[in-house]
Amino acid sequence: MANIYWNGPKASKKDTREALMKELVNITNNAFTVTFESDGAGPHVVAYVERNPESDASPFPGFLPEKFMGWRVLRIHVPSGYIPLFYNLDGSKRVTQSPD
């Protein structure tokens, strides 16, 4: 029954990413990015926000809904410096090692 909540129309990835990036500007002062991934429960949008190394406070001090423009939202905090190391500006994963 819980899956019914996640069913329904979803906005395009492009529109969702743009809107969620604008929303995150109002929620956190830390570095962040938005990506799209999938797990056993299906596709979802992920908001990655870097933790502040000088504080134990949540990097998500503001409200971020569980469902945004039809997409299930996962909130993940990562160490400081993580986002530019592993993600490009467009939210795609950065190639960190070339195949041999």
Residue pLDDT, tens place only, 40-59: 888 999 999 999 888 888 88
Phi and psi torsions of 78, nearest 5°:
-130, 165
Domain of residue 61 covers: 14-86
Kindly give the residue spans of alpha helices, DSSP state H, lying in 1-100.
3-6, 13-27, 82-86
Instruction: Find the CATH number of the domain harbouring 46.
Output: 3.30.70
- CA 81 to each of CA 5, 50, 92: distance values in angstroms, whole numbers, following the listed order: 35, 7, 16
- The pTM of the full predicted model, rounded to 2 decimals, is 0.86
**Strand intervals (E) in 7-99:** 32-39, 42-50, 67-68, 71-78
pLDDT at 72: 93
Report if residue 76 sits inside a domain.
yes
